Amino acid sequence: MPASVVAGNWKMNTTVSEAVALAAGVKDGASSAGNVELVLCPPFVSLTAVRDAVQGSAVKVGAQNMYHQDSGAFTGEVSPGMLQGLCEYVIIGHSERRQLFCETDESVNDKIKAAQAAGLKPILCVGESLEEREAGKAMDVNSGQVRAGLDGVTDASGLIVAYEPVWAIGTGQAATPGIAAEVMGGAIYEALRGIFASAADQVPLLYGGSMNAGNAGDFAAQDCIHGGLVGGAALQADQFLQVAAAVAAAKA
């Protein structure tokens, strides 16, 4: 079975000092998360401070994005090399980046390859919109995003895939564990098997979209769900730790 992981995507929230306080709160309570790997993904400007704040603990740090080029005239972008030493993980292809910042399956694929080449662990995000779900395309959209995002990728080690249905993000309307399991154990897992064969069995699959302390245990009770990618509930240390504790209990 893959490792259990609960990652907090702080999105465009927290000043540097707020980020440090939040990270310190998570570090202080991290033992309540049992064997669950905790990953904090603050804004770029807080990566250094958050790395320092969690030093000496098992809490890991991730970035929310990166560009695939090594360096050069790419104003406003951050390269994989710049993240080395600051974080272990990097979220790639979040639906907000796809929708608001024009990221495509091709750019997501470039970023996954560049992250792996730099020794970073990518958290590939996939998920269908409400329109796509209502049109009966959810399974095809998710398997297509996995296949395209991982085109030419041969190494599954360090890879995480997060299923985040767009309609469940920030809405308070989480998917049901059954819907999530259908997509994750079906379309996403099958696509990963097709790419990595048995190595797919070690890729953690995270659910994301209005996950909280109340529903996290039900998601993690599904065999094919190994944790969560948490937005709003990750902005309070106690709530984030409760999500992780619920996942730990479900996986124990």
| Distance in Å, CB of 134 to ligand 13P, minimum | 20
Catalytic residue among 68, 103, 164, 226: 164
| Distance in Å, CB of 22 to ligand 13P, minimum | 15
Residue 164 is a catalytic residue: yes
Amino acid at 9: N
Residue 170 in contact with ligand 13P, rule: CB under 6 A: yes
The secondary structure of the chain, three-state, reads CCCCEEEEECCCCCCHHHHHHHHHHHHHHHHHHCCCEEEEECCHHHHHHHHHHHCCCCCEEEECCCCCCCCCCCCCCCCHHHHCCCCCEEEECCHHHHHHCCCCHHHHHHHHHHHHHCCCEEEEEECCCHHHHHCCCHHHHHHHHHHHHCCCCCCCCCCEEEECCHHHCCCCCCCCHHHHHHHHHHHHHHHHHHHHHHHHHHCCEEECCCCCCCCHHHHHCCCCCCEEEECHHHHCHHHHHHHHHHHHHHHC
Residue 208 in contact with ligand 13P, rule: CB under 6 A: yes
| Distance in Å, CB of 209 to ligand 13P, minimum | 5
| Distance in Å, CB of 194 to ligand 13P, minimum | 25
Q: Which is nearer to ligand 13P, 196 or 207 (CB)?
A: 207
Catalytic residue among 37, 68, 88, 94: 94
Amino acid at 251: K
Phi, psi dihedral angles at 36 (to 5 degrees)? -75, 130
Phi, psi dihedral angles at 101 (to 5 degrees)? -125, 20
Q: Which stretch binds ligand 13P (CB under 6 A): 43-51, 72-80, 128-136, 226-234?
A: 226-234
**Contact letters for ligand 13P, residues 115-154 (x by CB under 6 A):** ----------------------------------------
Residue 94 in contact with ligand 13P, rule: CB under 6 A: yes
Q: Which stretch binds ligand 13P (CB under 6 A): 18-26, 46-54, 149-157, 223-231?
A: 223-231
Q: Which pair of tokens denotes residue 14?
A: 């927290």
Residue 229 in contact with ligand 13P, rule: CB under 6 A: yes
| Distance in Å, CB of 40 to ligand 13P, minimum | 12
| Distance in Å, CB of 235 to ligand 13P, minimum | 9
**Contact letters for ligand 13P, residues 8-47 (x by CB under 6 A):** -x--------------------------------------
CB atoms under 10 Å from CB of 233, counted, come to: 21
Amino acid at 170: G
Residue 68 is a catalytic residue: no
Q: Which residues bind ligand 13P (CB under 6 A)?
A: 9, 94, 164, 169-170, 208-211, 229-233
Q: Give catalytic residue positions.
A: 94, 164
